[in-house]
Amino acid sequence: MPHFGLMDERKMERKDAALQRARLHIRGGRRRLRQGKYAAGIATLYDALSFAMRWYILSHEEDQGSRAGELDFEDTRAVFYFLVSRGVLEDSFDFDRFDSLVEKGLRDELFEFDWKDWLGRVEDVMRRLGVMPFDEASLPPEDPSTF
């Protein structure tokens, strides 16, 4: 994964680690998609989305009410719909279709798809969460030899 060796989550605050990981995975997902590594690219963007939502909730806990503390961050679908119910995200992002696309990739059934469209959709969500825009130069340098 794009964050391996570039950050030590144990030495960071939980929300800072989530934000850093989301941004590293946005950058890594973009690169993988441009290289035609569709399954890896879409899975990396899914991880970016998961950690971006985690960061948002951890950074805005007081705005999210008591239920935020009960969320299982491993259940990305539940986290997404929690943020939709709070008006943070819009249901216009077809999370279920995105999740299905990732599952197809994990089963090696993803050969080609409109990755530019999906990248744009994910980036829209990232902007809504406040994870984007960001200066890529602020991230640790990427090792292009990694998958």
Alpha helices by DSSP H, listed for 1-147, are 14-34, 38-59, 61-64, 76-85, 95-106, 115-129
Q: What is the pLDDT of residue 3?
A: 43
Q: What is the pLDDT of residue 19?
A: 92
Q: What is the pLDDT of residue 1?
A: 45
Q: What is the pLDDT of residue 144?
A: 63
CA angle, 102 then 136 then 41, to 5°: 15
Q: In this model, does residue 42 exceed pLDDT 70?
A: yes
Question: How would residue 106 be classed by pLDDT, with cut points 50, 70 and 90?
Answer: confident
Q: Which residue, chain included where needed, has tokens 């990981």?
A: 21
pTM for the whole structure = 0.83
24-28, 39-43, 58-62, 94-98: least confidently modelled range: 58-62
Q: In this model, does residue 7 exceed pLDDT 70?
A: no
Give residue-wise pLDDT tens across range 70-82. Answer: 778 889 999 999 9
Q: Which residue, chain included where needed, has tokens 């570039």?
A: 6
